């Protein structure tokens, strides 16, 4: 459970912003979206390989 203590003289907007930041870090929305549809393991592996190749290409371009 996420707990956000509102400090004295702190606006509700700031407290809400802190709550949203903590909530995003938990990854709950990403997990819910991922669970909406089944993804085959072969497709997951393919996506990981594509992502790794992209990261490697970006790193190589940054080093040159």
Structural domain includes residue 1: no
Count the domains in the chain: 1
What would the pLDDT profile of 7-58 be if each residue is shown by its tens digit?
899 999 999 999 999 999 999 999 999 899 999 999 999 999 999 999 999 9
DSSP at 61: H
Structural domain includes residue 2: no
pTM tops 0.85, yes or no: no
- In sign, the C-alpha dihedral spanning 26, 29, 40, 49 is negative
Structural domain includes residue 29: yes
Q: Which domain holds residue 19?
A: 12-63
CA dihedral 34, 43, 53, 21 (to 10 degrees): 0
**Residue owning tokens 């606006």:** 11
Structural domain includes residue 6: no
Structural domain includes residue 54: yes
Structural domain includes residue 51: yes
């Amino acid at each position: 459970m996420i707990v956000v203590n509102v400090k004295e003289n702190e606006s509700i907007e700031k407290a809400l912003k802190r709550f949203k930041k903590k909530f995003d870090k938990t990854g709950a929305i990403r997990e819910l979206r991922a669970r909406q549809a089944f993804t085959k393991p072969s497709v997951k592996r393919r996506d990981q390989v594509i992502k790794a190749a992209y990261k490697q290409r970006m790193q190589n371009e940054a080093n040159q």
